[in-house]
Structure 1
């Protein structure tokens, strides 16, 4: 317990020192990760923090929340929040914590998560601030199992273009051999997903040629 408090204090000081201002951590919240960068093209960096929203439960894990702060009058002020952008701390299955990393590139917020066991999955969401909301503009994923198949998805929600590549493989004498691929490009326009409603409903797209089922959102239980 003492070690946990010490590590939390270090994370808090890191945020304080890098950004020059303290942030008020909500009661019972703990910081998972934080980054800063300009998300609204005003030449002023925002602060993005991933939180556990309650004390850690080693069996069931805990939910997470994403909070984006703006600097106003030299103080960090909550700007946007989402309880759907991040999976819970145990939602990675046998691999445990699904959180990968966050990054900000050219004003775009990237969030990567992954999990699984022998069957593995991983994806990256890309959000852009427009019309006063953070919209999902890109989704890439890789899922599959060694010696079975791997499915690679690249979905540009701005243009609606989705590329689906499925590579089948087998293993003989401990060597991987690719023996078949199914590649397909389709258009799925007018799909509007925001940071706030990221997992609000299940979104499944079935490709017309090979009938691959692509889950963009799994929906909240």
Structure 2
């Protein structure tokens, strides 16, 4: 009788130990490992990009924000329509093109809203030169900024003779207009950009300043007013006409 009771006691202990082991395995399987937790918390690259720029949803299919320097999107933020909310301007570049052909570029401007979304204002496709249009210098795109409530596009190129252009666009009367232009050139053998031949126009007032460097290095300045003329709309602006 004692042997039977002892055997039953051992059997109960074995069943209890088996149940505990199974329970521990289940708990182990249900608990996330460190690697799994890391993967779940890591944001995908696409999500980080969206968070960084906030305008990917309105970029046309087949285009991307230009990164002249890898990891640095060519964009600028500031209040462009005087509503106290940051807007955004960006240079976009086509992702698909013919072999050995530089992709087209365009200027994209979008207005921000209180909920941190953006609405497209304009895409101008004749403002930004292609990467192969800067001559020996290389890519002529030199910068995009928002300055005094307007969008400023800068370009620079050439070889021994260097040239540079700066165009200023402002939103007014429910549209975008060219309100200022600066164009200059200089020969690197004898002059620098600081004393280059330069024309600067304020298209809102008609005021202009023309700077010329003569052979002896002397700089002459001419100022005047050519009168106010009808402003060029951004949608009609063509770099080749300037």
Superposed CA deviations along residues 132-174 of structure 1, whole A, max 9, x for unmatched, are 11211111222121345631111111111111111034xxxxx
For the residue of structure 2 that corresponds to 1:23, the secondary structure is helix
CA RMSD of aligned residues (A): 2.7
For the residue of structure 2 that corresponds to 1:134, the secondary structure is strand
Higher strand fraction (1 or 2)? 1
Aligned-pair CA distance for 1:129: 0.8
Q: Which runs of 5+ in 1 are unaligned?
A: 1-8, 170-177, 203-216
Which shifted more, 60-69 or 73-82? 73-82
Q: Which runs of 5+ in 2 are unaligned?
A: 1-43, 67-73
Counterpart residue number, 1:213 = none
Residues 130 and 25 of structure 1: is their aligned pair in 2 closer, same or farther, counting only changes over 3 Å? closer
Residues 146 and 29 of structure 1: is their aligned pair in 2 closer, same or farther, counting only changes over 3 Å? same
Higher helix fraction (1 or 2)? 2
Residues 198 and 146 of structure 1: is their aligned pair in 2 closer, same or farther, counting only changes over 3 Å? same
For the residue of structure 1 that corresponds to 2:51, the secondary structure is helix
Counterpart residue number, 1:61 = 102
Distance 1:65 1:107 in 2: 20
- Number of equivalent positions: 186
Could you tell me the TM-score, scaled by structure 1's length?
A: 0.72
Which of 1 and 2 has greater Rg? Answer: 2
Aligned partners of 2:54 and 2:117 also within 8 Å: no
Aligned: 1:25 with 2:59: yes
Aligned: 1:185 with 2:223: yes
